[in-house]
Amino acid sequence: MSAMNPCGTVCISSSVHSCIIISPSGTPKWLANLVGSVGISFVFFVTLMKVRQYLLRILLAYRGWMYENVREVSWKNKLWGLTVKCVSGYQPSLYSCQRSLPRMHIPPLDETLSKLLDSLKPLCSEEEFKDYCKQAQDFECSIGPRLQRLLHLKSWWAPNYVSDWWEKYVYLMSRCPLVINSNYYALDHYIWTPTSKQVSRAANVVHSILSIKRQIDREELQPLLLRNTIPICMAQYERLFSTVRVPGEEMDELLHFDSREARHIVVWRQGLFYQLSIYDDKNQLLSVTVLEKLFQDIIDDADKHKESVSECERSVAALTGLPRTEWAQILRENFKSGINKDNMDLINKAVCMITLCDSVPDNMSEKGKMLLHADGRTLWCDKSVNVFFFPDGQCGLNVEHSMADAPVMGHVWEYAMTME
Ligand SMILES: *[C@@H]1O[C@H](CO)[C@@H](O)[C@H](O)[C@H]1NC(C)=O
């Protein structure tokens, strides 16, 4: 990381300084001068930020570094890397490089079509393939070029011309159940477990997850850098937590709540759901020891009261594993008012879902199965993150896929695992 100061701070202080020296103090014009100098500094600062942004954007449009061996970097690329480091500043914040990232390249229409045909070829019969080739030709001669021009237009105003469509058509409009088809899971350490006490592990891991969430909320987490130099897009970090995928009859909806609304986690034990506030009365994150005690209280309470809830009530999470349209209809008919709605809102707004399981998986395959689909009624599939803790101290997580790709959650999980 370069040791240079961000140009912005250095320049704004010097400009305010020089303006105050120039302004004749004590004259009736002092107020006008002060306002003028503050105004000029502000404009100067904004201009400088914009210049920095565009400069970085121009620099990042260069792709030559991709094709070079990491161990034999040419002087040209070294110089380029150094300039990128200087321009992106010392300790950039989470989203500070977002506006400087290069636009995604739109491939020419004929290239898109030939790639599409190549990918269709193994999937269809020879006759069907001929038909597709003809359709592609027709498309290229008729409406294709016009749509391609519109796509270019979109690429000028959208941060990425494909990501909103990808989210909508690939994820949210899919009507299959989320379990197995879309959600994915992650394991913890292979053999080593730092403790064999379920509540201690849960407290420790949950605390790490909440502290990285706080870093994301405050934009203190630094952007990931390729080769320690090139910033990559961090947009997907924003909706990792406090997010839920609400089923709709034709299309699901992703809801995200900010940290003013989402101030609790929901803990599942024996089919009972507990709301657990994550801040104390001084607005600080709960400490590991307090979390540990609260998890133990939840386990004791749930084990005492498990007989008082019916089998159906205990299995309500199974609804989230239904095909999406079916779940949307049930949601509309049964969860739109009263206590059901209130409880649903609490689950939706939770930062994440914590599951305190009561049985230990026999081996790795069983553990994988537990994390991927559990017993069909333990996993709240709509929730962006479900963290499972087993009675022997092992853990793992299940993640909803539409709000972010796996490397993003992988980064958070790696943080939690290494903090142990
Ligand atoms: C894992 O445990 C399950 C259930 O006890 C068993 O059926 C399965 O054969 C085991 N798998 C391996 C690879 O040992």
pLDDT digits (tens, 9 = 90+) for 281-312: 998 999 999 999 999 999 999 999 988 889 99
pLDDT at residue 120 in the model: 94
Tokens of 247: 């089923």
Beta carbon of 366 within 6 Å of any ligand 1 atom: yes
Nearest-angstrom CA–CA distance, 56 and 70:
22
Centroid of ligand 1 to alpha carbon of 247 (angstroms): 35
Nearest-angstrom CA–CA distance, 231 and 96:
10
pLDDT at residue 9 in the model: 36
Centroid of ligand 1 to alpha carbon of 364 (angstroms): 8
- Predicted confidence band at 417 (pLDDT cuts at 50, 70, 90)? very high
Nearest-angstrom CA–CA distance, 419 and 287:
15
pLDDT at residue 20 in the model: 47
| Atom 5 (ligand 1) nearest CA | 362
Nearest-angstrom CA–CA distance, 221 and 158:
25
pLDDT at residue 12 in the model: 37
- Predicted confidence band at 26 (pLDDT cuts at 50, 70, 90)? low
Tell me: pLDDT of 380 over 90.
Answer: yes
- DSSP letter assigned to residue 172: I
Beta carbon of 364 within 6 Å of any ligand 1 atom: no
Tell me: pLDDT of 332 over 90.
Answer: yes
3-state secondary structure of 52: helix
Beta carbon of 369 within 6 Å of any ligand 1 atom: no
Centroid of ligand 1 to alpha carbon of 268 (angstroms): 26
How many CB atoms are closer than 10 A to CB 177?
18
Beta carbon of 359 within 6 Å of any ligand 1 atom: no
Tell me: pLDDT of 97 over 50.
Answer: yes
pLDDT at residue 188 in the model: 92
Mean pLDDT, residues 334-353 = 94
Tell me: pLDDT of 354 over 60.
Answer: yes
Beta carbon of 365 within 6 Å of any ligand 1 atom: yes
pLDDT at residue 105 in the model: 84
Q: Which of 21-30, 102-111, 243-252 has the highest mean pLDDT?
A: 243-252
pLDDT at residue 395 in the model: 95
Residues catalogued as catalytic: 401
Of 301, 296, 293, 292, whose CA–CA distance to 270 is shortest?
A: 301
Tell me: pLDDT of 72 over 70.
Answer: yes
Tell me: pLDDT of 13 over 70.
Answer: no
Index of the ligand 1 atom closest to the CA of residue 363: 1
- Predicted confidence band at 17 (pLDDT cuts at 50, 70, 90)? very low
- DSSP letter assigned to residue 223: P
pTM of the entire predicted model: 0.83
Tokens of 391: 């009675």
pLDDT at residue 306 in the model: 85
Tokens of 207: 């605390």
Mean pLDDT, residues 92-110 = 89
Tell me: pLDDT of 7 over 50.
Answer: no
Q: Which of 365, 369, 370, 375 to mutate to test the pocket of ligand 1 (most atoms within 8 A of CB)?
A: 365
pLDDT at residue 70 in the model: 81
3-state secondary structure of 255: strand
Beta carbon of 358 within 6 Å of any ligand 1 atom: no
Q: What is the mean pLDDT of the chain?
A: 89
Nearest-angstrom CA–CA distance, 96 and 221:
11
Mean pLDDT, residues 398-414 = 93
Centroid of ligand 1 to alpha carbon of 363 (angstroms): 6
Tell me: pLDDT of 79 over 70.
Answer: yes
Centroid of ligand 1 to alpha carbon of 194 (angstroms): 24
Mean pLDDT, residues 374-388 = 93
| Atom 4 (ligand 1) nearest CA | 362
